[in-house]
Amino acid sequence: MAAAPDIDALQQRVHRWIEDDPDPASRAELAALLDQLPASAAELADRFSGPLTFGTAGLRGRLRAGPNGMNLAVVTQATAGVVAWLARRGARGPVVIGYDARHGSRAFAERAAQVASGAGREALLLPRPLPTPVLAYAVRRLSAAAGVMVTASHNPPHDNGYKVYLGPQLGGDRGAGAQIAPPADAEIAAAMSAVGPLSQVPLGDLGAPLGEGIVTEYVDRVAAIVPREGPRDLTVAYTPLHGVGATVLTAVFTRAGFPAPAVVPEQAEPDPDFPTVDFPNPEEPGAMDRVIALAEKLGADVAIANDPDADRCALAVPVPGRGWRVLRGDELGVLLADHLMRRGVSGLYVTTIVSSTLLRALCAARGLPYAETLTGFKWIVRATAGPAPLAFGYEEALGYCVAPDLVRDKDGISAALLAADLVARLKAEGRRLTDRLDELAREFGVYATDQLAVRVDHLAEIETIMRRLRAKPPRTLLDEPVTSVEDLSPEADVIILRTDTARAVVRPSGTEPKLKAYLEIVEPVVGDEVAEARERAAASLVALRTELAAALGV
């Protein structure tokens, strides 16, 4: 049980923060909590338990006053730290700032622009709420010193966040327009800690607003990633899940010659409360129900969903006689990679250690370089394997980088377009995405994936489980000997267990109080018995989940 907070010391900390907080609403919020003491002691202690952690992508947290929340004071401090760090590193060029439609996003973006310009750095503010990939594109295209994107991606409505991207000077060839990676995160966090009183941070104007030209350019460049001469007979149902993707995705599709997608009407416009979904993440059960219903009503060829900042993409496809099937991130990742390979796109193909190993088999068969990285696009886009440039990268959590010369990050808009190109070409041949998955299964076997997620009340529980697994890993899984136990510490808190046909990657979640195990079964296909192989793989996954849960003691 946590110790009771020292009320007097806590009051002093809160009063000091209020005196320096630039936002009247936040000051009033904290003053109201002070008036409720001692009943509000636990709430105030949590808000002042420490600063919001600046991770390897930036900040993300609950919208609330105090240092352990997303608010105007924290954004002011973060931006002052970023621009001070850029100055110390001698980075030239502007800071490009984008924002989504979440609560507070525009105000946070404008404050970031004021802090940057107040420090003598040119600030370029995107013209309206836009997808994260547009910001990533703009950083690379404008040779900016850095970029800031105010978004919490697919988090709940009460959250917001602050992501930092590097320009070419500090990011280098592989990191130009990419999310920051260590040691930049620790250096920026130190620069933030060194910021003095917020009342002394100089504020300039909103900088030079970027016009719609940068959005039009992004649309034109993304539309050009698919050949203009390809089939265009396609009916698409689409949802942005109350986010900012609809106008940009529609413009990309029509610019590329596809019919405009039919958009779920009640989810078409940005709404920071996400009223029609329990959780605005297309991975979550039920999140795609409305777009699938629309697709079924229209007789669509495919249903597509973006998350609220449109950097992730999910697909559902019709299965004759069986309704609609939502593709797993690994399935879409391999389909997109295979499509690019068959179009002759050479270069390095990359995924993460928690994604399916089918991409490795695919690259080996096609004679293309392959690499695996730790989880996160900051690692994917910086992967190397000889001199080959990055051609494609994906992670199983619905993130795809299909045009790395344009966007050095996951991009749900360009991924959706490339997927539409694939579906249209298969349709012209009288085939479906599921047919192509079956063809890959006949060639390589069935690579079936799933997850085991263990939610905990205290992070110490995860440490205990990982320590126990390291001390006593299972000797067998699915009646097969565990042939290797790979421990990636201290670089990463990850343990990989392998048998001849199974793999389990165990690690703490980077964003939630969860322990995650990423499971994979490889089941050979005998003759044409793909369906039977899938059934065997599914049964093996169920058994693997049970055995691993027992091994983890959960």
Which residue spans within 442-538 are E strands per DSSP? 446-455, 476-477, 480-481, 484-487, 495-498, 502-508, 514-523
The distance in angstroms from the start CA to the end CA of the chain is 22
| 546-to-387, 483, 542, 553 alpha-carbon distances in Å | 43, 19, 6, 11
As a whole number of angstroms, the distance between CA 256 and CA 263 comes to: 18
| 411-to-28, 62, 347, 504 alpha-carbon distances in Å | 39, 25, 19, 28
Residues 6+ away with beta carbon under 8 Å from 476: 482, 499
- Would you put residue 11 in left (φ > 0), alpha (ψ -120 to 50) or beta? alpha
CB 483 within 8 A of CB 423: no
As a whole number of angstroms, the distance between CA 411 and CA 397 comes to: 12
CB atoms within 10 A of CB 123: 27
- Given 153, 355, 414, 540, which residue is catalytic? 153
> Which strands make up the sheet holding 495-498, listed edge to edge?
446-455, 514-523, 502-508, 495-498, 484-487
Residues 6+ away with beta carbon under 8 Å from 550: none
What's the distance, CA 99 to chain centroid?
15
- Would you put residue 313 in left (φ > 0), alpha (ψ -120 to 50) or beta? beta
DSSP string, 76-110: HHHHHHHHHHHHHTT--S-EEEEE-SSTTHHHHHH
> What stretch of H or E contains 352?
strand 348-352
Residues 6+ away with beta carbon under 8 Å from 62: 69, 70, 158, 159
Q: Which two tokens stand for residue 549?
A: 């849960």
Q: Could you confirm whether 153 is annotated as catalytic?
A: yes
Q: Which two tokens stand for residue 280?
A: 């605005």
Catalytic annotation, residues: 153
